[in-house]
């Protein structure tokens, strides 16, 4: 039986129309464009309107990925959505995306791994395809982080934005004997729940929504920036090195690194430790901020559409986020 390798057949992304600049934020909290730019590299971010929910953005990104792959919605066998800002507690956001695509029987479920979520979902989809169970899987990373952002907290509100990205993962019957096989070459997923206090959002079974929780502002996303910075740089480097080793490649083989867009300083520090110039990383944080599980697929789609990645090129995706989670995936386009 030939090895079934999952390949990326199409990419897509969607972003809200509204831009929230650093100058706009300076009118809301004590901050400035210079202060934000110097510390994060972010100049503006997109903010979802009332009618732009996580599923709405996710569906638009999915449609664009399907178009790029040359597939109709009915040809999709499974939908996975990585998100920490779901449409509702239940049903899953993936179910709403399926409905908006006109699908009534296709299995669909969500996966929560914060900023590592898309890589987790990509690897999960890849395993389904490698097993032979499904041939075409839609993998979406979609977030409306603005819905859980405290715009009175200058330490966090400057970081986040909304958006969605998607890929169509397709089964390839390409022989495993190929010297340069396309598709998902390796993936590495990790988590340590002991570090949950570095990035968290409380409402849930441990902390049910209540007036006291809301009065304390604990319905919003919280993070400890300094600790997260150190952790992220270390794991970024580690995940790139582990990923290419598992794929039997070297850094010289990698055309582009696609990191989670958390902070430009993290990306710059990690790339320096890897001995790579910053232009070997796909960076769009200046325009979109941190969009959690959506950031990697948005950056991937932009890289493909800008001609920075072509068929046969190797890319390394790296995610680090709440959980704590950290992950990487190596693909040949």
Give the CATH number for residue 245. 3.40.47.10
- Co-location of 17 and 155 in the same domain: yes
Query: Is 190 an annotated catalytic residue?
Result: no
Active-site entry in 95, 115, 157, 201: 115
Residues 319, 328: contact at Cβ < 8 Å?
A: yes
Kindly state whether residues 154 and 221 are assigned to the same domain: no
Say whether both 40 and 159 belong to one domain.
yes
The catalytic position among 95, 136, 260, 263 is: 260
Domain that holds residue 195: 183-332
- 283 closest CA partner among 62, 83, 43: 43
Question: Do 22 and 165 fall within a single domain?
Answer: yes
CB contact at 8 A, 261 and 18: no
Tally Cβ neighbours within 10 Å of residue 268.
15
136 an active-site residue?
Answer: no
For residues 11 and 151, membership in a common domain is answered with yes
Select from 150, 172, 194 the last residue of a domain. Answer: 172
- 38 DSSP 8-state letter: H
Distance CA 262, CA 260 (A): 6
DSSP per-residue codes, 138-194: EEEEEEEGGGG--TT-HHHHTTB-EEEEEEEEEEE---TT-SS--EEEEEEEEE-GG
Distance (Å, rounded) from C-alpha 326 to C-alpha 70? 32
260 belongs to the catalytic site: yes
- Residues 187, 311, single domain; the answer is yes
Helix (H) or strand (E) holding 165: strand 162-172
Bridge-based pairing of strands 183-191 and 136-144 is unpaired
The answer to whether residues 83 and 196 belong to one domain is no
Does residue 178 belong to any structural domain of this protein? no
Q: Which of 107, 140, 172 is the last residue of a domain?
A: 172
* Residue where one domain finishes, among candidates 122, 152, 172: 172
Number of domains composing the chain? 2
Is the domain of 196 the same as that of 123?
no
CA–CA gap between residue 152 and residue 330 (Å, rounded): 39
Please tell me whether the peptide bond between 324 and the residue prior to it is cis, using omega within 30 degrees of 0.
Answer: yes
pLDDT in tens, the chain (333 residues): 456 889 999 999 999 999 999 999 999 999 999 999 999 999 999 999 999 999 999 999 999 999 999 999 999 999 999 999 999 999 999 999 999 999 999 999 999 999 999 999 999 999 999 999 999 999 999 999 999 999 999 889 999 999 999 999 999 876 555 678 899 999 999 999 999 999 988 898 899 989 999 988 889 999 888 889 999 999 999 999 999 999 999 999 999 999 999 999 999 999 999 999 999 999 999 999 999 999 999 999 999 999 999 999 999 999 999 999 999 999 999
């Amino acid at each position: 039986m030939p090895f079934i390798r999952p390949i990326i057949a199409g990419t897509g992304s969607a972003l809200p129309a509204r831009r929230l600049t650093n100058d706009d934020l300076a009118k809301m909290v004590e901050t400035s464009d210079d202060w934000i730019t110097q510390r994060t590299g972010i100049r503006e971010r997109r903010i979802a309107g009332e009618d732009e929910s996580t599923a709405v953005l996710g569906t638009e990104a999915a449609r664009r990925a399907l178009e790029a792959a040359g597939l109709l919605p009915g040809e999709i066998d499974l939908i996975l959505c990585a998100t920490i800002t779901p449409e509702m507690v239940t049903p899953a956001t993936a179910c709403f995306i399926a409905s908006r695509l006109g699908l009534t029987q296709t299995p669909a479920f969500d996966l929560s791994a914060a900023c590592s979520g898309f890589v987790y979902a990509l690897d999960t989809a890849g395993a389904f395809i490698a097993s032979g169970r499904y041939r075409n899987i839609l993998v979406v990373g979609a977030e409306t982080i603005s819905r859980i952002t405290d715009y009175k907290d200058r330490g966090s509100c400057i970081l986040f934005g909304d958006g969605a990205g998607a890929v169509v993962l397709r089964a390839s019957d390409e022989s495993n004997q190929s010297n340069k096989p396309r598709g998902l070459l390796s993936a590495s997923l990790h988590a340590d729940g002991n570090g949950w206090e570095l990035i968290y959002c409380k409402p849930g079974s441990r902390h049910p929504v209540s007036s006291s929780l809301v009065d304390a502002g604990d319905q919003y996303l919280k993070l400890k920036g300094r600790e997260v910075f150190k952790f992220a740089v270390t794991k970024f480097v580690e995940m790139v090195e582990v990923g290419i080793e598992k794929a039997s490649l070297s850094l010289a083989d990698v055309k582009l690194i696609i990191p989670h867009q958390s902070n430009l300083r993290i990306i710059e520090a990690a790339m320096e430790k890897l001995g790579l110039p910053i232009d070997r990383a796909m960076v769009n944080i200046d325009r979109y901020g941190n969009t959690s599980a959506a950031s990697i697929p948005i950056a991937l789609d932009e890289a493909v559409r800008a001609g920075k990645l072509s068929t046969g090129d190797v890319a390394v995706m790296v995610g680090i986020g709440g959980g704590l989670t950290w992950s990487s995936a190596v693909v040949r386009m």
